[in-house]
Amino acid sequence: MKNKIITNPFEKVMNFRDMGGYQTEDGRNIKKGVFYRSGDLSKMTANDKAVFETLGIRTIFDYRDHGEAKVKPDPVFANVVNIRIPAKGNVGFEMPTVTLKDIDNREFLQKINGEIFTEMYSQMAFNNPSYQKLMEIVQEPDQLGLLHHCAAGKDRTGVGGALILLALGIPRDTILVDYLLTNDYMKPMRDAMIPILSQHLNKQEMQQFGDIMSAKESYLQAVFQAIDQNYGDTDRYLEDEFGLDFSKRQRLQHYYLE
């Protein structure tokens, strides 16, 4: 699989990309212009909104909690349905809003580490109303293109993106490649924050910052491991969690692969 070129047509939408182009094991590819993923949409400029309206998006799916969405609401577009169902579950902390003000907080940083994020990932993949609704939408071509997002487009969107790709028959190693692309898209922001934070945060706190702001292979691997432990394989998982039996997955692939 060729590496994707890091491009983002938006001025104020972080971590945006088309999920099209990935190849299944049988050599088909996901169509472009169907599934998109990103971070927060609330700062869209006029130019950004004009770009958005060229993409054929019919549904914006927001994984954020109520508090996040209240502070930074999604824009509203004509003929686009906005759906928000929180995906995080009960993990004991509020998700960061990826602004310097919110992350530069010792109390918050002391609560968060890679182990907590790993546990969050493994829990999110099961009995989750957000992803159950996502998979309903994916089965309705007239509701797509779909843009799904959270705050950074990394964690909740990362799991949602993985589930879409699993349903379409994309190999797990390719799904990891897509997930880890977030590190490339978010690098300019991380690089700008590091010198400011490092002036007064200690080494451990900077490590916590890295845990928050990085897409780590171990996070998404925790999802795959939990699927295998709980269900034995991906096929059974998709059928039992989302009702995606073999025939429904075949129909998805007919719609969205070429």
Residue 206's pLDDT is: 77
* Measured distance CA(63)–CA(157) in Å, rounded: 7
**Total domain count for the chain?**
1
Identify whether 10 is part of a domain. no
Would residue 52 count as lying in a domain?
Answer: yes
Q: What is the CA radius of gyration of the chain?
A: 18
**Percent with pLDDT over 70 in the chain:** 88
Q: What is the pLDDT of residue 33?
A: 97
Q: Residue 7: inside a domain, yes or no? A: no
pLDDT digits (tens, 9 = 90+) for 160-184: 999 999 999 999 999 999 999 999 9
Residue 66 domain-assigned (yes or no): yes
89 domain residue, yes or no: yes
What is the per-residue pLDDT for 148? 98
What pLDDT digit, counting tens, does each position of 106-130 carry? 566 666 667 888 888 999 999 999 9
Contact 182, 153 (CB under 8 A): yes
Let me know if residue 214 belongs to a domain: yes
Q: Among 63-72, 77-86, 156-165, which stretch is predicted with the lowest mean pLDDT? A: 63-72
**Residue 252 falls inside a structural domain:** yes
pLDDT of res. 79: 96
190 token code pair: 């991380």
Tell me the residue type at 24: T
pLDDT for 199: 75
Whole-number Cα distances in Å, 199 to 5, 10, 113, 187, 194 = 33, 31, 20, 19, 9
CB neighbour burial string for 7-24, b if at least 16 within 10 angstroms, e if fewer: eeebeebbbbbbbbebbb
- Look at residue 134 and tell me whether its pLDDT is greater than 80: yes
Instruction: State the CATH number of the domain containing residue 37.
Output: 3.90.190.10
Contact 20, 31 (CB under 8 A): yes
Q: What are the tens digits of pLDDT across the range 84-111?
A: 999 987 655 555 555 555 554 556 666 6
Query: 103's torsion region: left (phi>0), alpha (psi -120 to 50) or beta?
Result: alpha
Residues 6+ away with beta carbon under 8 Å from 194: 206, 209
Whole-number Å distance between alpha carbons of 128 and 88 = 9
- Domain range for residue 146? 17-256
Q: Which residues contact 86 (CB under 8 A, 6 or more apart)?
A: 63, 64, 65, 66, 130
Q: Are 30 and 20 in contact (CB under 8 A)?
A: yes
Mean pLDDT calculated for residue range 201-221:
83
Confirm whether 238 is domain-assigned: yes
pTM for this prediction: 0.90
Per-residue pLDDT reduced to its tens digit, 213-239: 889 999 999 999 999 999 999 999 999
- Over residues 5-57, the pLDDT tens digits come to 668 999 999 999 999 999 998 999 999 999 999 999 999 999 999 999 999 99
- Tokens 């509701």, located at residue: 143
